[in-house]
Amino acid sequence: MSPDIQTTSTGLELVVDIGPVAHGGHCVARHEGRVVFVRHGIPGERVRVRLTDAEEKAKFWRGDVVEVLDASPDRVPHFWRTADSVVSWAHGRPPVGGAELGHVSLQRQRSLKAQVLAEQLRRLAAVELSPEVEAVGPANGEKTDDGGAGLAWRTRASFGVTQSGGLGMHAHRSDQVIPVQEMPLAVDGINALRLWDVDLQGIERVEVAAPANGSRPLVLLAPAPGTRAKRLNSILSQLPADVSVASYDPLKNETLQLRGRTWVQESAAGHDYRVTGAGFWQIHRDAPETLVGAVTGFLHDGGFLEPGAAVADLYAGAGLFTAPLADAVGETGSVLSVEGAPGTSRDARKNLHGSPQVEIVQGKVERVLRQRPRQFDALILDPPRAGAGKAVVSQLIDSKPRAIAYVSCDPSSFARDIGYFQQGGWQMAGLRAFDLYPHTHHLETVALLTPRG
């Protein structure tokens, strides 16, 4: 081990100069030629790092900032002590994940995210762009300029449970659960439940959904093996009476009603949506309206979304995009809505039952496209974080739509797929990026793709 690496009560530490931001929520530093991925720093800073992953033969190390020796002008006090790396390691423990950019001004956060997106597009798709990451809001008093707080936007939150039965969250890349007494990124409807006051012994995970429209929240409890009904009833008695509660087995994907509903009601773009407790819905309270506006705006302005048009919504979830697409094409048009998850597809069927121009199909996108070949004016593509992949992109190109709106939550898989589209003779005709996850490294992109020439 290098002589300038110090051993402290919390582990191995060294001093580094922080280099450029990289995809994944960290920056790149170097120590004696070895790359060190550092979280909780800002490019240009000189910091002391606590190594969290430092095998002698490893190609790279990982570490958290524990002391700032030369601060960036964009460094601000962290809004959440439990997620503050310097404060947390001073108390001998790692910070919780989920707010890794909380020490950076919002304006600089968006600049860093734009750099990551540009770098991924350049490296994986050979596209040279200088994208802007747009602020989203206002919400709950959140401002859209650099003076805003960027808090109270999460309508969904996931928690672990400590060994003593307290509410907690995981440290980054760790099984360690850190106790929490607040979740500043969550909407008031989640914090008002005060789940940190509940004895959660016998529960492994807790998922909470509190719709932005103020409708009834849902608490999903994932019991540990052998947890008895009496224990669940005890937890139920500690929760507010107007909250729906269900138990959930993530391995079997089974939800059991304990009280109220096993789903929540969301609203967006003039429509109400039923979303099962384990089903997907955009996390940021303003994300549904923002993304619907971006997608329909691209397609409408390009002349691809008109009455009578044939469109498809792939990886459609509960139908967030399907409903406004059905409005746009009217009863003389058609919308094919494809979703792989059975429960979420059932939600879409319920949500769109009054739209005869909509066909709901449950199944994998690649299988449905192969078994039901047809021509479309436009496709909407909103895949999971892993992206669509080369095979699906090839199928989409073969279906010869006039345009594709691609929604993505991961700049790396997005850029990779853009490269595949370009290899197939397509081009990116428009791009917008949104800061739907303030204080984290995540962002959302919406691209308009059209055949080249």
Structure-block tokens of residue 240 = 């507010």
CB contact at 8 A, 235 and 215: no
Ramachandran quadrant class, 232 (left: phi over 0; alpha: psi -120 to 50; beta: rest): alpha
The C-alpha atoms of residue 390 and residue 447 are separated, in whole angstroms, by: 17
The C-alpha atoms of residue 350 and residue 275 are separated, in whole angstroms, by: 10
The alpha helices in 161-318, defined as continuous H runs, are 188-191, 229-237, 287-301
DSSP H or E run through 429: strand 426-434
The C-alpha atoms of residue 65 and residue 102 are separated, in whole angstroms, by: 13
Nearest to 29 by CA among 13, 47, 16, 15: 16
The DSSP result for 294-323, as a single string, is HHHHHHHHTT-S-TT-EEEEES-TTTTTHH
Active site residue 27: no
Map residue 164 onto helix, strand or coil: coil
Instruction: Count the residues in the chain.
Output: 453
Burial per residue of 292-314, b for 16 or more beta-carbon CB atoms within 10 angstroms, e otherwise: bebbbbbbeebebbeeebbbbbb
Indicate which residue of 18, 200, 409, 449 is catalytic. Answer: 409
Residue 350 has a CB neighbour count (10 Å cut-off) of: 13
First to last CA, the chain: 57
Nearest to 140 by CA among 126, 129, 132, 152: 152
One-letter amino acid at 137 equals G
Structure-block tokens of residue 209 = 């959904």
The C-alpha atoms of residue 366 and residue 8 are separated, in whole angstroms, by: 53
The C-alpha atoms of residue 242 and residue 25 are separated, in whole angstroms, by: 37
As beta bridge partners, residue 65 has: 49
Burial per residue of 58-68, b for 16 or more beta-carbon CB atoms within 10 angstroms, e otherwise: eeebbbbbbeb
DSSP H or E run through 266: strand 263-268
The C-alpha atoms of residue 289 and residue 258 are separated, in whole angstroms, by: 32
Q: What is the CA radius of gyration of the chain?
A: 23
* Residues assigned a catalytic role: 409
